[in-house]
Structure 1
Amino acid sequence: MMAHERGVRDARRFTAVVLARWGIHGEEADAAVLIVSELTTNAVQHGGFELTVTLALVGGTLRVDVTDYGGPDPRSKPAEADECGRGLDIVACLASRTETAREVWGLRVSAEVGISGFGRPGRF
């Protein structure tokens, strides 16, 4: 996916469609879409020319990975006093776990969200 504003919109739409197909709705889906939005926005603002969004559902945990191919680590810039600079804080509040890793090809930011009802009979 191209790292520009339209890419953020496309990533949100992709996430919502995948979650709906997996039967994830409501607040859990909203939180995951917001996480993807914040992470892809950071990738567009601070990263390289392309980004990748990966979703994985294992048991009752949804893992979101956003990888950008180049650019500085968004944590290296001080947060601004206005609305900018709060994306990773929002992600940290919504996710049960976050991780940032500098890879050879770029920066990967991951977030995990617990999904209620998965792993129990009858949910899937």
Structure 2
Amino acid sequence: MPALDASVSEARRLVLERLREWGVAADSRDNAQLLVSELFTNAVRHTDSEKVSCELWVIGVRLRLEVTDEGGGEPLQRPCGANAVDTEGENGRGLLLVSVLADEWGIRPDEHAQGHAVWAELPCDRTVD
């Protein structure tokens, strides 16, 4: 998708659509949408990317999502805890939120070693038919 603020809502919509198709329960869908929103927003605002991609996998009872940018801009860092976050400012809370919602998450170089792939895993509850 284009690395634009408007693409964040489209990414959320597409994630919701796919997770509904896969029978993922509402709570898991909501958490995944929030994670994708935070990671996609970071990629748009803090890199020099023209495109940002998002991938989803359901692996057993786990949902893994990954947002990949093309690089450039500010380096991504893990938050060091609540004291490292500017609670009055607009920035800095996204990765803290990711660390709270995701059981595990991380940052790795993308396959071309130019950008970043930020991934997160969370429990994946299914709907009962």
Q: Deviations over 1:59-100 (max 9, x none)?
A: 111100000001232328975442321111101100110011
Cα separation, partners in 2 of 1:112 and 1:90, compared to 1, 3 Å? same
Per the TM alignment, residue 45 of structure 1 is displaced from its structure 2 partner at its CA by 0.5
> Which runs of structure 1 show a deviation greater than 4 angstroms over 4 or more consecutive aligned residues?
76-79
Aligned to 2:124: 115
Q: Is the 8 A contact 1:43 1:51 kept in 2?
A: yes
1:29 has 2:29 as partner: yes
Aligned to 1:96: 103
Paired letter, 2:10? D
Aligned to 2:61: 60
Name the SS for the 1:85 alignment partner.
coil
RMSD across aligned positions (CA): 2.1
Taking structure 2 as the reference length, the TM-score comes to 0.83
Q: Is the 8 A contact 1:73 1:107 kept in 2?
A: no
Identity %: 35
Gaps of at least 5 residues in structure 2 are none
Q: Is the 8 A contact 1:92 1:98 kept in 2?
A: yes
How far apart, in 1, do the equivalents of 2:119 and 2:77 lie?
Answer: 14
Gaps of at least 5 residues in structure 1 are none
